Structure 1
Amino acid sequence: MGLSHSSSYHSSHVRSVTEYGPVIVEPHLDIYTRLPICEFMGYDNNSYSPQFELLVQSYQALYDRPYDDVRSYFKVVGLHALPFKSYDGVTGGIHEYKNDTDWFNGRYGGYCHHGDVLFQPWHRPYLLLVESLIINEAKRIASQYPDYEREKYVEAANKFRHPYWDWAAKEAINGIPDAFTLAEFEINTPRGIEKVKNPLKGYILPVNLSYPLEKGRNPTDRPHYRIPGLDRNPFTPAGYSTIRYPNPNYEDQYDLLDLNMSIYNPTVFRPGYYQTFHIDNYLHFSNNALKSNDKEMGENLTAHPNPIMIGYSHFASIETTHDAFHFISGGPGGHMSYADITAYDPLFFFHHFFVDRIFAIWQTIFPNSWVPENISVNGTYVLEKFSVINEHTELTPFRKSETEFWTATDIRDIEKLGYTYPELVKFKGQDPKKLQAYILAYYKPDNLHGRRFYAKLTIEESKSIGSYVIRVFVDLKNATAETPVTSPHFAGLVAVRRKPYKSAPHLVGTVDITAAMERLGIRTQVHHYYYDIIDVRTGLLNPAAIFDVDNDINIVPCYLDGTEISPKEAGVKKVEVYSFQHDEEDPNFLVENSGRHHFTKHF
């Protein structure tokens, strides 16, 4: 699906990433649409079959490059985090990351921005780099097809844009697409119809990733493999693949992944992004740390004041829901669950191309809010902790020339980068409110109308290290880590990533508890506390009208392996409940002054 391009874009070809010299991330010269992976695979029709066949072969081609080539899959994914080394010669000068000490002092070892306002802008040139490398390989492979097929594949390569997986769509409740689970595909290659290994199922490490752990915790210990302690990165020896939900034989368990998609798609993913599209302030939309008042942060940058909660900070940011998917798609021991090794799983990119779509749609709905000046609490490979960042901060290591790096300002307009998304094509030139209404209807988690209730968790420095979740149950005081998430009392969860940071950011997470309240017969309508709780026929209290929010919101923090930890260990400081009016006539219900605060429970 193409778009007519602006006058500054004339070529019918996508500019290649140069093979030699510094890695320059250049925009595509034409605008084409990034599509969902299921459409790419031809589930509805086979229009994109040539592009899918090129996608499969191009990923494998990146895998096959020498691993120390800066344009190989290994090198490109490694810049995100492990092995915590410079990429393409981009270092931090006197502030360069010191692998032996900085990680334990809380500084992030990769180039990625986690937990700050550049979280999503940083990923945009990263995805553009990966997409460009895939396109390069696709064009090379297309040129090798026989004469009678070459034109079709060359055209497919020229129009190629990397697909995404919308794991918050309704159909995602059915589980992970075949594109990521099948062992092989039968596709048309330059040599004819062949069965080829599926490179999207996993990436086989060419060298060791991370470090060996105690006996029993390494893939080489199969068939008695046990996932490592969650304060450590799993070890992947050379010759072993990335994994999702590993069993004792270090094999993927897609039945567990699919089961969890069926549970968390309606309780976490859809409600999360449904909330996100009501947030009109970039500072509150962008990442999962508590946000400071815009003006206060600007006036006190040198002092780095403790964040204060304002505005929409109790709704779901784009990063909060993004984090939850990492845990659900990787599972205990899976690469997607660990920030330091997550990018090695090819599913990472299909996930992040989708998150970029969420970002681009949000920008279109709220075009006047953009990256404010703030601080990077975690730092990066080249950036010290608590550094001041803004829209002009260099998004290293992504060069736009030999001497310049991309910034958030540079990547704000995706059409100037040469791509778009289906919804943006559909609503191009229309009132952004129409796009917002469409997206709210698309991601609405249920058919409930009226007043919606939200449990907001404030999480500060915790004693726990590693990835964990905080499950939220309604009206179940004895809930534990053993309580199944299939219980009607389960409302959702908040995902948390923790390293041994001495100064970890404060986080917030919000769970929509409305559906759980409805399942349990708890009234969600606004009612008069003196009359509506009494059955007028009998004079007795009506149990359906009673909801003791002070006692009936129960949280259960636990590691990904199911080990329960206390709220104090998890850093939970308080839980609050808010409600907002929502009806069919006024779907834009998360308006700040319409909310009602019900209670605060401190820990």
Structure 2
Amino acid sequence: MGLSHSSIYHSSHVRSVTTSGPVIVEPFSEIYPRLDIYDFYGNEKYEPQVDLLIQSYQALYDRPYDDMRSFYQVAGIHGLPYTPYDGVTGGDKELETGRFGGYCHHGDVLFPPWHRPYMLLIESLLVEEAKKIASQYPDNEKEKYVEAAKQLRHPFWDWADIKAIEGVPKIFTSPEIEINTPNGKKNPLKNFTLPVDLSYPLEKGQNPTDKPNYNVPNITYNIYTPAGYPTVRHPNSNYEDQTDLLNSNMSVYVPTVFRPGMYQMFHIGNFLRFSHHGVNSDDTQAGNFFSGHPPPTNPAGMSHFASMETTHDDFHLVWGGPGGHMGYVDLATFDPIFFFHHSNMDRLLARWQGIYPDSWVPKTIEPNGSYTDELYKAIDENTDLTPFRKTKTEFWKSSDVTDIEKLGYTYPEVEKFKGQDPQTIKAYVLDLYKPDPHYGRRFFVKLTIKAGKLDGPYCIRVFIDLPDANAQTEVTSPHFAGLVSMWSSTKNHVHDNTFVYGTVDITAAMERLNIRTQVHDPLHEVNTTTGQLGTLWLFNVEKDINIVPVLLNGEGVSPDEAGVTMIEVFTFDHDNVDPNFLDENSGKEYGSKKF
């Protein structure tokens, strides 16, 4: 039976739910690593854990949808269906226009720590199921599986690993997977079938029930998924995954977007700037509300760098594709890949903490609100991370989750570099995600984007030296340099003073197109009065940087419609960087264009 529209969207119509006491998220008593899916799946050593993980996911799927410990309920914490989880409420959302209806935090400093107990919740539920399943194996295998259940932690997928260029691990795309159990063929990691309606029907032709003539909706917030239909990725007209297209896109976006994003964000040593993408429209100081950038007296500043959240957003849009659930803030968690993605984001946070151990959640405000938090609420490391209970009467806080070992898990690389000098860790990470051989002098396009101009997630593609680039131009073009994702930008959930700064590393595209990247001679090329480059400079920002905003259904819109107010080009030499480069004008601007 489907949910009514009112029960989906309004807290005044709350459906009954089943729970056996409060859901308390407890740390594990022993520490074991979350493993890389590349090492986890296909490795004989971990076969029992793979067997248990697959069955445990299916067990959470099979729980009644109104059970607080079911996959549906846990996934519903993040966004839709905008109903209380475990009885945790925060008043009537209808009183505040623009307040986000899910519990998740995006666009504020709680984005990284909020997802830490969220991952711990589903991980603990999976391990609980794994222990039950392990006890049911025959006596000659039981001991092995009981031990595997104890050591099981949620794997991560490092989608910026160089191996990801080859495509998506088959454990996420195969309809069936062979595991050691009498009924072990169905693969729950490919998708999740909705037990009830999610969102509401759209115009004819834009709903899964309209297949084989399904079209990605011409509105981009939110797609409708009826009960009995699965989550999808890059769906075709028959509402089926286009895995070949997904694999092809990974080969494009890993080198152009994911790896440069990783490389950039590990240069950021301040948690405020690292954690999220929200900034003030006036951008007056580095530490002000929403700020992610230094003051305008520093014309280079943070313009070269992607925050953790920006890089995270890029993956969501690339993975979901047009019409895929991962592309929508309210629906993303219903695709099981979400939790492998966020296990990876948590790993990146843990590695960042090893490099910058003295920076954590500062005091600021929450611009978007949530199911429990009012708009512009003051937040800091002691803000409750609802709805995750630490005890019956207490919620987890950011100050509680700084040390992952105290939560009962770690990551192989965190263990490998434990106790080592932060600069050693940083050097390793930067070498791991080095975008390409031309990683010394790099060129960046910085986009200043007014959030909320468009209703729904979209991306802004950047092409170099291709004036006629449009929404139909393939990203496999050598002129494609990268993109900036506007994942959580909607008219209902952002406010007039919210801007996003995104960057695209265009160096590799310039090299492909034989566009000059050498250091320039200011004596002959720069006017000493105006500071502008002379005619010898062959790269024209006005003409050679081509901005193409694209909606999730593939339609193109103008930069102005997408909220792009300015593009700027900067260079920065990563090999000769001042230790205080975030606060020093150590970059060089090569022109700008306003819209």
Q: Structure 1 length as normaliser, TM-score?
A: 0.89
Give the counterpart letter for 1:35 in structure 2.
Answer: L
Residue 509 (1) aligns with residue 508 (2):
no
Q: Residue type matched to 1:463 in 2?
A: K
Separation in 1 of the partners of 2:363 and 2:578? 32
Q: Which amino acid aligns with 2:140?
A: Y
Q: How far has the Cα of 1:305 moved from its partner? A: 14
Alignment partner, residue 495 of structure 1? 485
What displacement does 1:562 show? 2.2
Query: What is aligned with 1:4?
Result: none
Match among 549, 558, 568 for residue 560 of structure 2: 568
Matched, 1:343 2:341: no
Task: Give the letter for the 2:21 counterpart.
Answer: G
1:81 aligns with 2:79: yes
Matched pairs, number: 561
Alignment map for 1:275-314 (pairs within 5 Å) = 275-290=264-279, 297=288, 311-312=301-302, 314=304
- Match of 1:6? none
User: Does residue 1:523 correspond to 2:516, yes or no?
Assistant: yes
Distance 1:305 1:323 in 2: 16
CA, structure 1 residues 139+38, in 2 after alignment: closer, same or farther (shift >3 Å)?
A: same
Deviations 1:73-121 (A, max 9, x none): 01111111101001000011xx3323xx75xx22111000011110111
- CA shift for structure 1 position 529: 5.0
* Aligned residue in 1 for 2:394: 404
Paired amino acid for 2:92: E
Counterpart selection for 1:217 from 184, 187, 206: 206
Please give the alpha-carbon distance, in whole angstroms, between the structure 1 residues aligned to 2:190 and 2:553: 23
Alignment correspondent of 1:15: none
Task: Return the match for 2:160 from 143, 159, 168.
Answer: 168
Matched, 1:243 2:232: yes
Match of 2:474 in 1: 484
CA deviation after TM superposition for structure 1 residue 286, in Å? 0.5
Pair 1:266 & 2:258 matched: no
1:306–1:285 distance in 2 versus 1, CA, 3 Å: closer
2:308 equivalent in structure 1:
318
Say which SS state the counterpart of residue 302 (structure 2) adopts: coil
Amino acid of the structure 1 residue aligned with 2:230: S
Distance 1:499 1:115 in 2: 12
AA of the residue aligned to 2:424: K
Cα deviation, 1:388-426, whole Å, max 9, x if unaligned, reads 111111000001001110111111111111111111111
1:130 aligns to what SS in structure 2? helix
Deviations 1:414-467 (A, max 9, x none): 111111111111111111111111111111110114311111111114431111
Cα drift, residue 598 of structure 1? 2.0
Q: How many angstroms does 1:60 deviate by? A: 0.2
Q: How big is each residue's C-alpha offset from its partner over 1:112-141, in whole Å with a ceiling of 9 and x where there is no partner?
A: 001111011100000000000000000000
Give yes or no for the alignment of 1:463 onto 2:453: yes
Where 1:184 maps in the other structure, the secondary structure is: coil
Given residue 56 of structure 1, which amino acid in structure 2 is its aligned partner? I
Kept after mapping to 2: 8 A contact 1:375/1:389: yes
- For residue 195 of structure 1, report the CA deviation from its aligned partner: 4.1
Cα distance in 1 for residues equivalent to 2:39 and 2:581: 33
- Cα distance, 1:457–1:295 mapped onto 2, change above 3 Å: closer
Change (3 A) 1:582 1:589: farther
Match of 1:75, SS?
A: helix
Cross-structure match for 1:418: 408
Secondary structure, aligned partner of 1:125: helix
Question: Which of 33, 45, 48 does residue 47 from structure 1 map onto?
Answer: 45
Q: Does 1:131 align with 2:131?
A: no
Distance 1:542 1:297 in 2: 40
Distance in 1, Cα, partners of 2:232 & 2:439: 40
User: RMSD in angstroms over aligned alpha carbons?
Assistant: 2.4
Where does residue 96 of structure 1 map in the other structure? 92
Alignment-derived partner of residue 32 in structure 1: 32
Please report how far the alpha carbon of residue 208 of structure 1 lies from its aligned counterpart in structure 2 after TM superposition.
0.8
Shift of 1:217: 1.1
Distance in 2, Cα, partners of 1:441 & 1:590: 19
Q: Is the 8 A contact 2:218 2:553 kept in 1?
A: no
Does residue 1:149 correspond to 2:138, yes or no? no
Q: CA deviation at 1:293?
A: 6.4
Check the 8 A contact 1:582/1:589 in 2, yes or no: no
Distance 1:371 1:224, change over 3 A: same
- The 1-side partners of 2:261 and 2:198 are apart by 33
Partner of 1:7: none
| SS of aligned partner of 1:208 | coil
Deviation per CA, 1:551-593: give whole Å up to 9, x if none: 322211111222111111111111111111133x779896544
Report SS of the residue matched to 1:575. strand
Tell me which amino acid in the other structure corresponds to 1:172.
A
C-alpha separation in 2, matches of 1:393 and 1:149: 46
Structure 1 counterpart of 2:344, one-letter code: F
- What whole-Å deviation, never above 9, does each CA across 1:173-217 have from its counterpart, x for those lacking one? 11111001111112112x4xx542000000011111111111111
Match of 1:117 in 2: 109
Q: Is the 8 A contact 1:450 1:525 kept in 2?
A: no
User: In structure 1, what residue type is equivalent to 2:189?
Assistant: L
The answer for the alignment partner of 1:198 in structure 2 is: 187
2:277–2:501: 8 Å Cα contact kept in structure 1?
Answer: yes
Indicate if the aligned counterparts of 1:268 and 1:493 stay in contact, CA closer than 8 A: yes
What letter is aligned with 1:167?
Answer: W
Does structure 1 retain, via aligned residues, the 8 Å contact 2:28–2:408?
Answer: yes
Seen in structure 2, the aligned counterparts of structure 1 residues 250 and 367 have a Cα distance that, compared at 3 Å, is: same
Deviation at 1:297, TM superposition (A): 3.1
Provide Cα deviations, 1:246-291, integer angstroms capped at 9, x if missing partner: 1111111001111111111100000001000000111110011126
Q: Matched residues in 2 for 1:235 and 1:283: separation?
A: 35
AA aligned to 1:221 is D
Equivalent residue, structure 2, for 1:180? 172
Alpha-carbon distance between aligned partners in 2 of 1:69 and 1:239, rounded to the nearest angstrom: 18
Residue deviations 1:458-517, cap 9 Å, x none? Answer: 111443111111111112222222222112111100001322236152111010011111
TM-score with structure 2 setting the length: 0.90
User: Which residue number in structure 2 is paired with residue 330 of structure 1?
Assistant: 320
> Kindly, what percent of the aligned residue pairs are identical?
58
Secondary structure of 1:275's counterpart equals helix
Gaps of 5+ in 1: 1-18, 534-540
Which amino acid in structure 2 is aligned with residue 38 of structure 1?
A: Y
Instruction: Say which SS state the counterpart of residue 466 (structure 1) adopts.
Output: coil
CA contact (8 A) 2:451 2:490 kept: no
What is the CA deviation profile of residues 323-377 of structure 1, one whole-angstrom value per residue up to 9, with x for unaligned ones?
1110110111110001111100001111111111111101110011111111111
Question: Quick one: distance in 2 between partners of 1:456 and 1:332?
Answer: 25
CA contact 1:580–1:589 (8 Å) conserved in 2:
no
Distance in 2 between residues matched to 1:212 and 1:144, nearest whole Å: 43
Q: Which moved more, 1:306-315 or 1:247-256?
A: 306-315
Q: How has the CA–CA distance of structure 1 residues 225 and 295 changed in structure 2, closer, same or farther, with 3 Å as cutoff?
A: closer
8 Å CA contact 1:231, 1:499 repeated in 2: no
1:507 is paired with a residue whose SS is strand
Tell me if the contact between 2:273 and 2:292 (Cα under 8 Å) persists in the aligned partners: no
Report the CA distance shift for 1:576/1:77 in structure 2 as closer, same or farther (over 3 A): same
Contact 2:446 2:567 (C-alpha < 8 Å) held by counterparts? yes
